[in-house]
């Protein structure tokens, strides 16, 4: 039996580490962090460090609103509950057998359901549904495995090995080294990774996804800028650089996960189902809007 690092899922705020009892914005957080965005949702500007000049720059109200919206649509509460159940059920067990199939399927369904909801709630990602669905699935899975400490559960590792291959769990262990403790940063990062494009990812709709390259670049720039300014505001210049570097390395691991996932037809079919359901939901939303406007 391999040595295990003692990790206990305690009721601690995932943002500042303080004692916390309730879940806000999909994660366990204390009251102070709960009102973090609400505190800045006013007409005043929040100063942050400007790297190019010695004076202070401004984080606009629109940028704070964007941060709030991106965090709010990324709701992994159900996924966290399933992941925590897996951890609590199997971590103390001496058995190295695979996870119960029903529980494992429930966990995987929660991953894809979280992604489907995430895609539907943001128009930016709807223009590149196929690649965004795959990207969000891989990075969200990486985050949840780390957050719920499932990489330290032998039975879970064995189940992933059987379903997706040994390489998948190895990449997850590598990615775990770069996952930041700041949940707000994680949620913003997932949104940026969702609109990332890279040529080696297989997608039958790749040409369709790339029909709006200017729009995609504008979204990427908008998300990257707000992440950088948030880091400067919260951590200062030195720590912001360190965290942004780790974020870049996490993205690289995410690209490997995305590529590796294309070898599993179960994953490919699940992502395709997510895309179809999202497209249908977006069409129905458009129909409802037209009906409402014509009343």
Between CA 146 and CA 116 the distance in angstroms is: 21
Pair (144, 243) in one structural domain: yes
Cα separation of 218 and 104, whole Å?
38
Continuous segment of H or E residues that includes residue 240: helix 213-261
Average pLDDT over residues 156-184: 90
Whether residues 172 and 73 share a domain: the answer is yes
- Looking at the fold, whether 186 and 230 belong to one and the same domain comes out as yes
pLDDT over 80 (residue 36): no
Q: Are 115 and 136 in contact (CB under 8 A)?
A: yes
Same-domain pairing of 202 and 79 = yes
Higher pLDDT, 270 or 32: 270
Distances (CA, A) of 253 to 23, 65, 138, 140, 175: 28, 29, 10, 12, 5
Co-location of 74 and 214 in the same domain: yes
Average pLDDT, rounded, for the chain: 75
Q: Which domain holds residue 90?
A: 44-102+119-293
State the DSSP H helix or E strand holding residue 103, giving kind and residue range, or none if neither.
helix 101-120
Same domain? For 74 and 144 the reply is yes
Same domain, 158 and 234: yes
Number of domains within the chain: 2
| Alpha carbons 291 and 259: distance in angstroms, whole number | 41
Distance from chain centroid for Cα 183: 9
- pLDDT at residue 223 is higher than 70: yes
Query: Residue 138: is it exposed, middle or buried by C-beta count within 10 angstroms (0-12/13-18/19+)?
Result: buried
What is the CATH number for 289?
1.10.565
Residue 24 and residue 170 share a domain? no
Confidence of residue 37 (pLDDT cuts 50, 70, 90): very low
Contacts of 284 (CB under 8 A, 6+ apart): none
Residues 136 and 232 in one domain: yes
User: How much is the average pLDDT of 268-293?
Assistant: 74
Taken in order 108, 112, 114, 115, the sign of the CA dihedral is positive
User: Any idea of the CA torsion for 62, 212, 280, 269, to the nearest 10 degrees?
Assistant: -110
Between CA 58 and CA 49 the distance in angstroms is 8
The per-residue pLDDT for 52 is: 40
Q: 206-215: list long-range contacts, CB under 8 Å, 24+ apart.
A: 206/130, 206/131, 208/130, 209/127, 209/128, 209/129, 209/130, 209/131, 212/127, 212/128, 215/127
Look at 94 and 271; give whichever has higher pLDDT. Answer: 271
CATH of the domain at 25: 3.30.50.10
């Amino acid at each position: 039996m391999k040595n295990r690092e003692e990790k206990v899922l305690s009721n601690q705020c995932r943002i500042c580490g303080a004692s916390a009892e309730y879940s806000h914005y999909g994660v366990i957080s204390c009251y102070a962090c709960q009102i973090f965005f609400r505190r800045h949702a006013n007409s005043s500007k929040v100063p942050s460090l400007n790297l190019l000049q010695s004076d202070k720059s401004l984080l606009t109200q629109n940028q704070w609103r964007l941060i709030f919206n991106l965090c709010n649509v990324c709701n992994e509460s159900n996924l966290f509950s399933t992941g925590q159940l897996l951890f609590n059920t199997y971590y103390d067990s001496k058995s190295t057998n695979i996870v119960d199939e029903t529980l494992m399927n429930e966990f995987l369904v929660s991953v894809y359901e979280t992604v489907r909801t995430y895609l539907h709630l943001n128009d930016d990602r709807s223009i590149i549904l196929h690649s965004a669905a795959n990207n969000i699935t891989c990075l969200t899975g990486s985050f949840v495995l780390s957050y719920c400490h499932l990489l330290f559960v032998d039975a879970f590792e064995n189940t992933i090995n059987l379903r997706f291959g040994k390489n998948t769990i190895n990449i997850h262990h590598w990615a775990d080294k770069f996952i930041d403790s700041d949940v707000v940063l994680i949620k913003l990062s997932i949104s940026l990774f969702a609109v990332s494009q890279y040529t080696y990812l297989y997608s039958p709709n790749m040409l369709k996804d790339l029909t709006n390259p200017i729009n995609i670049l504008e979204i990427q720039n908008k998300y990257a800028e707000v992440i950088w300014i948030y880091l400067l505001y919260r951590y200062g210049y030195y720590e912001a650089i360190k965290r942004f570097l780790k974020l870049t390395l996490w993205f690289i691991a995410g690209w490997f996960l995305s590529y590796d996932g294309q070898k599993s037809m179960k994953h490919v079919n699940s992502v395709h189902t997510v895309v179809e359901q999202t497209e249908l939901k977006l069409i129905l939303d458009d129909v409802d809007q037209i009906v409402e406007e014509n009343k």
